[in-house]
Structure 1
Amino acid sequence: MSTGLPLVTTADRRNRLGRRHRLAPSARAATLGEVADAVVALHATDAATVYLSARARLAEGYGPPAIERALYEDMSVVRLLSMRNTLFAVSAEFAPYVDSSTARAIAAKERRTFLKHLAEDGQGLGADWLAAAETAALDALDARGPLTGSQLSAAVPVLQQKITIGRGKKYEAETGVATRVIRLLAADGRIRRDRPRGSWTSSQFRWRHTQPWPAVPAAEARAEIARRWLRAYGPATEADLKWWTGWTLTDVRKALAAVGPEQVRLDDGGAALVCPGDTGPEPATEPWAALLPGLDPSAMGWADRSFHLDPAHRPALFDYAGNIGPTVWWNGEIVGGWAQRQDGEIVWRLLAAPGRDAEEAIGTEAARLGAWVGDARITPRFRTPLERELVS
């Protein structure tokens, strides 16, 4: 590697994270759409994550009701099954690119798999039956929606059908079709998640009939995602982008070639990629502390997170499947974890020694989080050793 490459230091990378991910107080966003675009996509597998990730990046006064309006009334941010076959929330302007680059292929694969299961079940169900079931579900949503999955199943008798998966095999199991049909409709963009039953922490979503996203050429869509991702997460590597998107290596390389990234040198002597012209040093922000939820994009944006996470902290902060739990940050580095107890108290523990100023700022941020959450109770979908310990 040439030593003549521009150097982007670990400090630069942490400064970028604080400013570009809207975590420093002076960089906080005015809308949920700005937050989603700043990090490209918000993890949405856990309903509370979208709200808590947004809270850490939004200006004061932007509470859960405003986020709900953005998601379910303005629909300026929408949920899509996309990168790594995972649910993300993205801005409506960006959604067609995510859909065309990633969600279309996932939807096609899901449909092939389900049709295979229908054929193997032996009841004579197939593509015609599935098309009729989907039409009946959409008709019910038009007449009575929005509806939860259980309400939709009750309203559409064909969705109460059961099939056997793996007939004659060790893993043979009888299952209903409603969840699979709803998942296919959502993957195709013909239905979208609406306001859930219960509070903002609930994942029991209602469903609404909508029109699919406008088509964008897949190669163009992947290039746009790669460009935005490099702007938010660069310096980063080809391997980081492949991990984050779940694309094939061929698609990753074609998308990067379309962007034309520049190469930079890192502190450890390795090389990484940035957007064209994005090689300069990043000015420091004011000191900042953040309490981010499990699966927050700032913790999940790279395959290699060593610039902001000491590998020694991984056993406490990750579950067995590699999902990161709630984290405490100081100036672009993960220094601990946090949890909410049943009485509502926000508790946290440092895994590093960032100093007295950091501890005071983290305590202030924990109090701000507790006031924002109010009476809501948050239990992460993916429990980690430290989070469990803090609430025990």
Structure 2
Amino acid sequence: MLAWRMERQQLVSRRPREDLQAVVGTIGGLHAQVLSAAELAAWARVDGLRPGELDEELWERRSLVKLWAMRGTLHLLPAAEYGLWQAALNTYDHYLKGGWLRGFKITREELGLLLSTVREVLRGKGLTRDELAEAVAAASGSPALGEKLGDSWGAYLKPASFQGSICFGPNRGRSVTFVSPGEWIEAEPGPPADEAVAEVTRRYLRAYGPATAAEYSRWWGPRRPAQATRSFRALGEEAVEIDVEGEPHWALAEEIEGIAKAVPQGAVRLLPAFDPYVIGSARDVAAILDPEHKGRVHRPQGWISPVLLVDGRIEGVWSYERGGGRVAVAIEPFGQLGEAVRQGAEAEAERLAAFYGDELALEWV
């Protein structure tokens, strides 16, 4: 199973530079809470990238779009596929329920006014967070709504992102800006909601399957495992339930033979913080990560460590620092590594140094 997932995550053979957008779409986006980590997640899968090129794709070519997406976290997604992802995200309704509204101290009516006003004030312009808060206060006639936007980083803007009203524009100095997706990027309208959810479910199973309903639920966000199971079943004969070590998993029927035949290729990768492979993998499956080391990878406040990945299994953590024309890479394996794995990890570190144009200083901890 891990050998298959490595291949589908584009972690066995790197794709050429021209496939960047396809890779991002295939794996369900790049986590973009830390943009430098998103860049290295692309670097781990694509040959020929340059430092800063992701910024060019975002702000100059606009082939990628940055938005709050799955789980309400920041992602980079292909701009050409924005309609698909937004149509699926628009099925989120947790922010309309009492628990969310009470938690964020806003009524449903106030939230509706805030969201419609955000859409209105972003027409034809990009605004910083402070400018957006001021514009919403003025246009809505409610200073309190402006204060809510000013006091909260993204809580009230995430629903606007799910509804397709807002995405990120280029920084203005050190301030982020927000723009209207319909004006910022060129994208076809999305399909009906049920078709969008079905396509996202297919893509998830292609990139992360075989998977349990709980795993899909955690990846997608505000959806209980029972709802995830219904999404699998809604695919009809396209998806099948299979047994993986005594636990029910789902996979696409057309891929069952390939999953059974997949064999480890000896692939070694240095994956960055918040890599999609790690986020999309079960946290409690010993085949992926020894439970003894779970706390080294899944850290407090939702931080996901950079990991040493060997044929789909997390075998250590690593870090790097740049300065003075050097990149210092420290690799900390969880146990003894074979010579081939060590050589593979060292080759990855050399590749990282070449990416940055720096001299490598490698340390095994």
**TM-score, length basis structure 1:** 0.74
After TM superposition, the structure 1 stretch with the greater mean CA deviation from structure 2, 99-108 or 242-251, is 99-108
Helix, strand or coil: the match of 2:269?
strand
Equivalent position to 2:45, from 36, 57, 67: 57
Q: Post-superposition shift, 1:179? A: 5.0
Aligned to 1:75: 62
Cα distance in 1 for residues equivalent to 2:309 and 2:214: 25
Q: Write the mapping of 1:72-221 to structure 2, written as runs, cut at 5 A.
A: 72-105=59-92, 109=96, 113=101, 117=105, 126=110, 130=114, 133-134=117-118, 137-139=121-123, 142=124, 145-150=125-130, 152=132, 158=138, 163=144, 176=150, 183=158, 185-196=160-171, 204-211=175-182, 214-221=189-196
1:20 aligns with 2:8: yes
Aligned to 1:300: 279
Q: Post-superposition shift, 1:51? A: 0.8
Contact 1:29–1:35 (CA<8 Å) still a contact in 2?
no
164 and 233 in structure 1: CA distance in 2 versus 1, 3 angstrom threshold: closer
1:313 aligns with 2:293: yes
1:365 aligns with 2:336: no
Helix, strand or coil: the match of 1:279?
helix
Identity %: 25
Aligned to 2:242: 264
1:238 aligns with 2:213: yes
Aligned to 1:355: 338
Q: Post-superposition shift, 1:362? A: 0.4
Q: Post-superposition shift, 1:227? A: 1.0
189 and 288 in structure 1: CA distance in 2 versus 1, 3 angstrom threshold: same
210 and 244 in structure 1: CA distance in 2 versus 1, 3 angstrom threshold: closer
285 and 76 in structure 1: CA distance in 2 versus 1, 3 angstrom threshold: farther
Cα distance in 1 for residues equivalent to 2:169 and 2:149: 25
Helix, strand or coil: the match of 2:92?
helix
Aligned to 1:43: 31
Helix, strand or coil: the match of 1:368?
helix
Aligned to 1:276: 253
| Long gaps (5+) in structure 1 | 1-12, 166-172, 376-389
Aligned to 2:224: 248
362 and 282 in structure 1: CA distance in 2 versus 1, 3 angstrom threshold: same
Cα distance in 2 for residues equivalent to 1:332 and 1:293: 14
Cα distance in 2 for residues equivalent to 1:207 and 1:189: 12
Contact 2:119–2:166 (CA<8 Å) still a contact in 1?
no
Cα distance in 2 for residues equivalent to 1:58 and 1:137: 38
Q: Post-superposition shift, 1:229? A: 0.8
Q: Post-superposition shift, 1:53? A: 0.6
Q: Post-superposition shift, 1:238? A: 1.5
Q: Post-superposition shift, 1:154? A: 7.0
Cα distance in 1 for residues equivalent to 2:30 and 2:340: 30
Q: Post-superposition shift, 1:302? A: 3.1
Cα distance in 2 for residues equivalent to 1:331 and 1:373: 26
Cα distance in 2 for residues equivalent to 1:39 and 1:163: 40
Q: Return the letter of the residue paired with 1:334.
A: I
After TM superposition, the structure 1 stretch with the greater mean CA deviation from structure 2, 146-155 or 308-317, is 146-155
Q: Post-superposition shift, 1:243? A: 1.6
| Long gaps (5+) in structure 2 | 359-364
Aligned to 2:361: none
Cα shift readout 1:247-306 (whole Å, capped 9, x = no counterpart):
23443233211223223333x343322101211234446432211111111111133443
**TM-score, length basis structure 2:** 0.78
Q: Return the letter of the residue paired with 2:305.
A: G
Q: Post-superposition shift, 1:82? A: 2.5
Equivalent position to 1:290, from 261, 269, 291: 269
Helix, strand or coil: the match of 1:329?
strand
Contact 1:32–1:70 (CA<8 Å) still a contact in 2?
no
Helix, strand or coil: the match of 1:345?
strand
Q: Post-superposition shift, 1:58? A: 0.3
